[in-house]
Protein backbone atom coordinates (compact mmCIF):
# COMPACT_ATOMS: atom_id res chain seq x y z
CA UNK A 1 0.00 0.00 0.00
CA UNK A 2 1.35 3.46 -0.85
CA UNK A 3 1.86 6.07 1.84
CA UNK A 4 2.57 9.77 1.62
CA UNK A 5 6.16 10.77 2.29
CA UNK A 6 6.69 12.67 5.54
CA UNK A 7 7.09 16.43 5.18
CA UNK A 8 10.12 18.08 6.74
CA UNK A 9 9.46 20.40 9.66
CA UNK A 10 10.06 24.08 8.92
CA UNK A 11 11.91 25.91 11.64
CA UNK A 12 10.23 29.06 12.97
CA UNK A 13 11.50 32.20 11.27
CA UNK A 14 12.76 30.33 8.21
CA UNK A 15 11.24 30.59 4.79
CA UNK A 16 10.39 27.32 3.04
CA UNK A 17 12.49 28.32 -0.01
CA UNK A 18 15.40 25.96 0.71
CA UNK A 19 18.75 26.05 2.40
CA UNK A 20 20.12 29.56 2.90
CA UNK A 21 23.51 30.00 1.25
CA UNK A 22 24.39 33.37 2.74
CA UNK A 23 23.91 34.73 6.24
CA UNK A 24 21.37 37.38 7.19
CA UNK A 25 24.21 39.91 7.45
CA UNK A 26 25.31 39.15 3.87
CA UNK A 27 21.75 39.70 2.65
CA UNK A 28 21.53 42.99 4.54
CA UNK A 29 24.80 44.21 3.00
CA UNK A 30 23.74 43.07 -0.48
CA UNK A 31 20.40 44.87 -0.14
CA UNK A 32 22.38 48.13 0.03
CA UNK A 33 25.44 47.25 -2.06
CA UNK A 34 23.67 45.96 -5.17
CA UNK A 35 21.62 49.14 -5.80
CA UNK A 36 24.74 51.28 -5.19
CA UNK A 37 26.80 49.27 -7.70
CA UNK A 38 23.93 49.31 -10.20
CA UNK A 39 23.65 53.07 -9.66
CA UNK A 40 27.36 53.57 -10.37
CA UNK A 41 27.12 51.55 -13.57
CA UNK A 42 23.99 53.47 -14.56
CA UNK A 43 25.64 56.84 -13.82
CA UNK A 44 28.71 55.90 -15.84
CA UNK A 45 26.51 54.79 -18.72
CA UNK A 46 24.47 58.02 -18.65
CA UNK A 47 27.61 60.18 -18.47
CA UNK A 48 29.15 58.27 -21.37
CA UNK A 49 26.00 58.70 -23.46
CA UNK A 50 25.98 62.42 -22.72
CA UNK A 51 29.60 62.95 -23.82
CA UNK A 52 28.89 61.72 -27.39
CA UNK A 53 32.51 60.49 -27.53
CA UNK A 54 33.96 63.86 -26.55
CA UNK A 55 36.47 64.61 -23.81
CA UNK A 56 35.78 63.82 -20.18
CA UNK A 57 35.01 66.96 -18.18
CA UNK A 58 34.33 67.71 -14.53
CA UNK A 59 30.68 68.48 -15.30
CA UNK A 60 30.36 65.11 -16.99
CA UNK A 61 31.75 63.33 -13.91
CA UNK A 62 29.41 65.33 -11.65
CA UNK A 63 26.46 64.43 -13.88
CA UNK A 64 27.40 60.75 -13.68
CA UNK A 65 27.64 60.77 -9.88
CA UNK A 66 24.38 62.66 -9.43
CA UNK A 67 22.63 60.28 -11.81
CA UNK A 68 24.09 57.32 -9.90
CA UNK A 69 22.94 58.79 -6.58
CA UNK A 70 19.36 59.35 -7.77
CA UNK A 71 19.18 55.87 -9.34
CA UNK A 72 20.53 54.16 -6.21
CA UNK A 73 18.21 56.06 -3.84
CA UNK A 74 15.14 55.29 -5.95
CA UNK A 75 16.14 51.64 -6.29
CA UNK A 76 16.70 51.26 -2.53
CA UNK A 77 13.37 52.95 -1.83
CA UNK A 78 11.57 50.66 -4.26
CA UNK A 79 13.27 47.57 -2.83
CA UNK A 80 12.20 48.49 0.69
CA UNK A 81 8.65 49.71 -0.04
CA UNK A 82 7.80 47.44 -2.98
CA UNK A 83 7.16 44.16 -1.14
CA UNK A 84 4.56 45.90 1.06
CA UNK A 85 2.51 46.99 -1.96
CA UNK A 86 -0.23 45.03 -3.70
CA UNK A 87 0.95 43.05 -6.71
CA UNK A 88 -0.54 45.47 -9.26
CA UNK A 89 0.99 48.56 -7.69
CA UNK A 90 4.28 46.76 -7.11
CA UNK A 91 4.50 45.78 -10.79
CA UNK A 92 3.51 49.31 -11.91
CA UNK A 93 6.19 50.83 -9.65
CA UNK A 94 8.95 48.62 -11.04
CA UNK A 95 7.69 49.17 -14.59
CA UNK A 96 7.66 52.94 -14.17
CA UNK A 97 11.12 52.92 -12.58
CA UNK A 98 12.71 50.77 -15.27
CA UNK A 99 10.93 52.55 -18.13
CA UNK A 100 11.97 55.96 -16.83
CA UNK A 101 15.54 54.76 -16.28
CA UNK A 102 15.92 53.35 -19.79
CA UNK A 103 14.10 56.31 -21.36
CA UNK A 104 16.48 58.69 -19.57
CA UNK A 105 19.51 56.74 -20.80
CA UNK A 106 18.24 56.83 -24.36
CA UNK A 107 17.46 60.57 -24.08
CA UNK A 108 21.13 61.23 -23.23
CA UNK A 109 22.16 59.78 -26.59
CA UNK A 110 21.65 61.63 -29.89
CA UNK A 111 18.24 59.98 -30.42
CA UNK A 112 15.09 62.09 -30.51
CA UNK A 113 12.75 62.63 -27.58
CA UNK A 114 10.00 60.64 -29.26
CA UNK A 115 12.31 57.65 -29.73
CA UNK A 116 13.45 57.75 -26.11
CA UNK A 117 9.84 58.03 -24.91
CA UNK A 118 8.82 55.08 -27.10
CA UNK A 119 11.68 52.94 -25.79
CA UNK A 120 10.85 53.90 -22.18
CA UNK A 121 7.15 53.09 -22.57
CA UNK A 122 7.98 49.79 -24.27
CA UNK A 123 10.37 48.76 -21.50
CA UNK A 124 7.88 49.85 -18.82
CA UNK A 125 5.10 47.80 -20.41
CA UNK A 126 7.32 44.73 -20.73
CA UNK A 127 8.58 44.93 -17.14
CA UNK A 128 5.04 45.48 -15.86
CA UNK A 129 3.70 42.46 -17.75
CA UNK A 130 6.54 40.21 -16.60
CA UNK A 131 6.42 41.26 -12.94
CA UNK A 132 2.64 41.23 -12.72
CA UNK A 133 2.66 37.66 -13.99
CA UNK A 134 5.41 36.71 -11.53
CA UNK A 135 3.72 38.34 -8.53
CA UNK A 136 0.33 36.92 -9.53
CA UNK A 137 1.66 33.37 -9.78
CA UNK A 138 3.62 33.57 -6.50
CA UNK A 139 0.69 34.50 -4.24
CA UNK A 140 -2.05 32.49 -2.64
CA UNK A 141 -5.77 33.24 -3.00
CA UNK A 142 -5.67 35.87 -0.24
CA UNK A 143 -2.77 37.79 -1.82
CA UNK A 144 -0.02 36.61 0.53
CA UNK A 145 3.40 35.91 -1.00
CA UNK A 146 4.40 32.26 -1.13
CA UNK A 147 8.10 32.68 -1.99
Residues 90, 79, single domain; the answer is no
Contacts 24+ apart (CB under 8 A), 133-136: 135/87, 135/90, 135/91, 136/87
Count how many domains the chain has. Answer: 2
- Look up the domain containing 130 and give its range: 85-141
Express each pLDDT in 78-118 by its tens digit. 999 988 888 889 999 999 999 999 999 999 988 899 999 99
Express each pLDDT in 8-17 by its tens digit. 555 555 555 6
pTM given for the model: 0.79
Residues 110, 76, single domain; the answer is no
Question: Pick the residue with more confidence: 28 or 139?
Answer: 28
Amino acid sequence: MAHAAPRPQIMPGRRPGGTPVFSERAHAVAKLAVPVVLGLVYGLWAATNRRYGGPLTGWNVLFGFLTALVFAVLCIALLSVGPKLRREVHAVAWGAFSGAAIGFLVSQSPMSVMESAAVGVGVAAGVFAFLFYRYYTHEDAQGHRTD
